[in-house]
Amino acid sequence: MTDVSAEQFVEKLRTYQSDEELRKIQRYFKHADGDTFIGVRMGQVFALAKEFIDMAPGEIEKLLDSPVHEVRAGAVSIMSKQASRKKTTDARRAELYELYLRRHDRIDNWDLVDLGAGNVVGAYLVDKPRDVLYELVRSDNPWQRRTAIVSTMAFLRAGDVDDTFRIAEILVADPHDLVHKATGWLLRSAGDRDQARLLAFLDRHAATMPRTLLRYAIEHLDKEQRTYYMGRKKAG
């Protein structure tokens, strides 16, 4: 499909609206105050994003401007799919990266961050300086902080754990539970590649880190190790 528009995407998306799905979505999503849902299953949103993968950044930005969550999810899914496609040019990947950061105000929930941060931000930065992540991680906005840690998944895929651990050090006392979950998830993934470094991190922080973060981080350790670190938390 070529020359696809935001208007066409929204028109087609609305044909999949379901009141039953809307009730499910409203039960599922937290931290979505003021957001609007129309009731489209996320699997369908992603399938439609694949159909509209050639959408130009200017049209994607129109989707990001929508008050409807599923429309914005479609926008970020298109960005992610386009950025990770082999035939996408480096120039287009740069455009998508810049669009993500410039319109982070519209990437405003955990699922939207998780859809795009790894492929649009992290993958772009694999062979570049990563200073922007250290700016994001100190933001007052929890979704920008989540972007900072989730972006490092692209580095983990390349075998590089350094930034995951460095950013996790900054987020280890973060006040937001959905930042805790992402940080724990990425620590767990980093530990799959370098368990010794994860254990050293836990030795320093297990007693004081948020319980949710700790539970996510230790999930792939053996039972004895999990019991030990949860005991450290209780002792702390």
- Is it the case that residue 186 has pLDDT exceeding 90? yes
- Find out whether 9 and 62 touch, Cβ atoms under 8 Å: no
> Tens digit of pLDDT for each residue in 14-57?
999 999 999 988 888 765 667 899 999 999 999 999 999 999 99
- Find out whether 38 and 72 touch, Cβ atoms under 8 Å: no
The tally of CA atoms less than 13 A away on the side-chain side of residue 168 is: 34
Per-residue DSSP letter, 29:
-
Query: What Rg, from alpha-carbon coordinates, does the chain have?
Result: 19
- Find out whether 88 and 81 touch, Cβ atoms under 8 Å: no
Which residues belong to CATH 1.25.10.90 in the chain?
128-236
Q: Please give the structure tokens belonging to residue 226.
A: 């999990």
Q: Tell me, what's the pLDDT at 192?
A: 98
| Whether this model's pTM surpasses 0.75 | yes
Architecture of domain 128-236: Alpha Horseshoe (1.25)
Compute the average pLDDT of residues 196-210. 97
Exposure b/e, 9-27, CB count within 10 A at least 16 = b = bbeebeebeeeebeeebee
Q: Please give the structure tokens belonging to residue 23.
A: 């009730």
Q: Indicate the burial class of 71 (C-beta count within 10 angstroms; 0-12, 13-18, 19 or more).
A: buried
Mean pLDDT (the chain, rounded): 95
Write the Ramachandran bin of 12: left for phi over 0, alpha for psi from -120 to 50, otherwise beta. Answer: alpha
CA dihedral 219, 137, 113, 179 (to 10 degrees): 40
> Tens digit of pLDDT for each residue in 80-97?
999 999 999 999 999 999
Q: Which residues, listed in sequence order, are joined to residue 68 by a DSSP beta bridge?
A: 36
